[in-house]
Structure formats: structure tokens, C-alpha cells
């Protein structure tokens, strides 16, 4: 596959086609009028604690792309949600999420943060050994634990779901993964489950998590904040969007280039439209014609957020030319656009709002997605 080719996948969903047709006819998603958001939702530590409990302590969230664990018998620790998690792909190919805690004495089972390969997980303290499906397989000197039933001492599994190339988890039992499964149909249309992980990086952003999300909920800033990078590729204000449960889906593109495009030709359509998904509460998926960026936001405080950025490409680079091509794309998006512009803008916004000079944020007609996002936050916080 040549670098820069369009992503493969299934046929588009009805929702994706509807957004593309809106752009093709020049329709623009606009709000009903000027709206406002209280600055306190970004600056009040007490409000963040409520979000921590009722959003991040209750709702399903994306942990990683399936491409982080492309083969069977792989595992990767994940600590940034505030829980010691362990993502695995077992010998049958099933993605699972466990607490990264040995059932013997509570020792952290897998150290570090990198993906590891192997059929077994061995506790570094007393060598209790587990399978990638969580089963306790063996322990030294089993006769010193009379009556112990190994089937009762497997790793604590956390509810999870793999759909459309994304691995979700839930912090509570009896999770409802129906929305992730519906969204999975959209992501299958991009072939996300078959993509290769080219790069990943975690950014520490001195900002409230919602200021980062806001940047991916409106197109008003694109030709301005990104004027030196990706702004020139987009026509100002040509965007469409809708919602899937608490999640938002949007598309930006170049209406002129859609003239004469066969909407039944998904590959042709994909070359002119960039889709973005804002997965509630705090995940962003940006689908460009030839690669995907997945950003998982993990708030650490009211003014501090970790953002893990993953870049997914059609296949592993086969030549130096391909490697160079994807490296330039990664440097542009992760380094110049996201880190250098979007995250920087969020940090500058946090600094300004912390002064109290702006009691409420003012949203124009092209920023309705932000208003809807905050309405969803309020709805979920009230539950």
C-alpha cells in the first residue's frame, strides 16, 4: 500500500453519508444564537470532583485502540485513569481489562507502561502466575495454601467492550456498552480494527479537560489557530454534525471538491472529508483520509489533563519512504497541530479563566457543539 492512500473499510453508515451530503450541499451546522458557558465549570475544583465521581467514576470510556494489542497473548498496563488497569488480549484473541493487582498480596502484577508479549503473567513478588484470560494458573509451594481454590483467585476483571477498533472499559459493573457497539459500526466503515499503530505519545496539558474537548467541537478556530499548519486545507465554517446518544459526530470538508462526487463511492468521498468523533466523556477520534488520530483524555485535576495520542495507519511502513511519510504526518499532527496549537490554546484559556476576568464563555453560531457538550455534561452529572 502506498503512503497516503485512503483508509480501507466497509460501506459508510447512513449517518456518515448524511453528514457528507450536508457538506456537499453547503449546509453549515450553526447554533440558534449566541450562547454562554459558566467559567466555573473549568476552574472550580469542587465541580471537577463531581465530574470525577459521576462521569469518570461511572461512564464507559475508551482506553486504547485495538491496534495497541495487535496479536494474541499481549498485555499493557494503564494507570492514567487513576486505577491500576491491565489491558490484555488473551490466547483466543479476546481483549480484556483487569485490575493490575496480584490476588495474593496485592502486588502490582505488571510493571512499566509498555506492551509485553507472553502467555503468562508472573507476579514479581511470589511468582503467582496468571493467564492472559485472568485465570490463576500456578503458585509456588501450593501445599502451603491448603484448601485454596485457584478458580476463586483469578485477576479481578473490569467490564470492557471492543468494538470498531476501540477498547472501552467501565468503572462500574453492569455497564451499558450499547452506544460503543453502535459507534463501532461507524469505525468499522474506516477499517479501524485492521489499522497499524504507528506512534503513541502522552501529553501533560495544564488545562481542564473540557477546554481540550472544546477545540474538537467547533470549526470556528480551524482557519485561524491552525493558519500555519492545517487551516489552509479547509473552507471556513463548512461543517456538519449530529449526536449518537451522549456522543457527537462531525465532519468538515471542502464543499467545492464534493461537486460531482459519487456518494456511493466511499473511497472517493473519504478523500475530501475529515470526520471527527467526540466520545463522551473525554475521547476524540479524528479520521483523516489516510490515517486516524485517537486521543484519550484522562483528567488528573481541575486544571491538569493527560492526553494520550495514538496515530493509526493502514499498514506498517514497508520502506524508508513510507516511514518518512508517516513520520512527517505524525510530527505535523501530534507535534505542531495538537500539542503546539490545540493544547497550547487550552492552557492559555485555563490561565485566563483562572483570573476570574471572564465569568462566562461566549459561544457564537459556529460553536454550538460546545454548548451541546456542556448540556450533556449537565445531564449526566444530574443522574
User: Is the predicted pLDDT of residue 24 greater than 90, yes or no?
Assistant: no
Q: What confidence tens digit (pLDDT) does each residue in 161-200 have?
A: 999 999 999 999 999 999 999 999 999 999 999 999 999 9
CB 245 within 8 A of CB 177: no
Domains of the chain: 14-59+191-381 (3.90.380.10), 61-162 (2.102.10.10)
Q: Residues with Cβ < 8 Å from 303, sequence gap 6 or more?
A: 43, 206, 207, 208, 350, 354
Q: What confidence tens digit (pLDDT) does each residue in 317-335 have?
A: 999 999 999 999 999 999 9
Which of the four pLDDT bands, split at 50, 70 and 90, describes residue 1? very low
**What's the confidence (pLDDT) of residue 31?**
66
Q: Could you tell me the pTM of the whole model?
A: 0.94
- Residue 80 CA to residue 312 CA, distance in Å, equals 21
**What's the confidence (pLDDT) of residue 261?**
80
**What's the confidence (pLDDT) of residue 6?**
62
- Residue 272 CA to residue 209 CA, distance in Å, equals 30
Q: Residues with Cβ < 8 Å from 69, sequence gap 6 or more?
A: 75, 76, 87, 88, 89, 95, 115, 167
Strand (E) or helix (H) holding 273:
strand 273-279
Q: How many CB atoms lie within 10 A of CB 36?
A: 12
At residue 89, the 3 state secondary structure works out as strand
**What's the confidence (pLDDT) of residue 29?**
63
Strand (E) or helix (H) holding 351:
helix 344-353
* Spatial CA neighbour of 258 closest among 280, 283, 285, 240: 240
Measured distance between the N- and C-terminal CA atoms of the chain, rounded to whole angstroms: 48
Local structure of residue 108 (DSSP, 8 states): B
Amino acid at each position: 500500500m502506498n503512503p497516503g492512500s485512503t483508509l480501507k473499510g466497509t460501506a459508510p453508515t447512513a449517518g456518515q453519508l448524511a453528514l457528507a451530503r450536508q457538506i456537499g450541499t453547503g449546509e453549515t451546522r450553526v447554533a440558534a444564537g449566541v450562547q454562554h458557558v459558566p467559567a466555573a465549570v473549568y476552574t472550580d475544583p469542587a465541580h471537577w470532583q463531581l465530574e470525577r465521581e459521576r462521569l469518570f467514576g461511572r461512564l464507559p470510556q475508551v482506553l486504547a485502540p485495538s491496534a495497541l494489542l495487535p496479536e494474541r497473548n499481549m498485555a499493557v498496563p494503564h494507570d492514567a485513569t487513576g486505577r491500576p488497569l491491565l489491558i490484555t488480549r488473551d490466547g483466543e484473541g479476546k481483549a480484556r481489562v483487569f485490575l493490575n493487582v496480584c490476588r495474593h498480596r496485592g502486588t502490582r502484577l505488571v510493571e512499566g507502561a509498555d506492551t509485553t508479549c507472553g502467555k503468562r503473567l508472573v507476579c514479581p513478588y511470589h511468582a503467582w502466575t496468571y493467564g492472559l484470560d485472568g485465570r490463576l494458573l500456578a503458585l509456588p509451594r501450593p501445599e502451603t495454601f491448603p484448601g485454596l481454590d485457584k478458580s476463586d483467585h483469578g485477576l479481578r476483571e473490569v467490564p470492557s467492550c471492543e468494538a470498531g477498533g476501540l477498547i472501552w472499559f467501565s468503572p462500574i459493573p453492569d455497564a451499558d456498552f450499547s452506544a460503543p457497539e453502535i459507534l463501532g459500526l461507524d469505525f468499522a466503515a474506516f477499517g479501524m480494527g485492521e489499522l497499524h499503530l504507528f506512534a503513541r505519545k502522552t501529553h501533560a496539558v495544564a488545562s481542564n479537560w473540557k477546554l481540550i474537548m472544546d477545540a474538537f467541537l467547533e470549526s470556528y478556530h480551524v482557519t485561524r489557530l491552525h493558519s500555519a499548519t492545517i487551516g489552509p486545507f479547509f473552507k471556513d465554517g463548512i461543517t456538519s454534525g449530529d449526536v449518537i446518544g451522549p456522543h457527537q459526530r462531525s465532519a468538515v470538508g471542502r464543499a467545492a471538491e464534493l461537486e460531482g462526487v459519487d456518494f456511493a463511492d466511499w473511497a472517493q468521498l473519504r478523500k475530501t472529508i475529515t470526520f471527527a468523533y467526540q466520545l463522551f466523556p473525554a475521547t476524540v477520534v479524528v479520521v483523516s483520509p489516510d490515517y486516524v488520530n485517537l486521543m484519550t483524555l484522562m483528567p488528573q485535576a481541575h486544571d491538569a489533563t493527560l492526553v494520550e495520542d495514538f496515530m493509526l495507519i493502514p499498514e506498517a511502513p514497508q520502506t524508508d519512504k513510507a516511514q518518512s511519510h508517516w513520520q512527517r504526518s505524525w510530527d505535523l499532527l501530534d507535534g505542531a497541530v495538537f500539542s503546539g496549537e490545540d493544547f497550547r490554546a487550552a492552557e492559555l484559556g485555563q490561565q485566563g479563566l483562572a483570573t476570574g476576568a471572564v465569568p462566562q464563555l461566549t459561544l457564537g453560531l459556529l460553536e454550538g457543539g460546545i454548548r451541546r457538550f456542556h448540556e450533556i455534561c449537565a445531564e449526566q452529572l444530574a443522574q
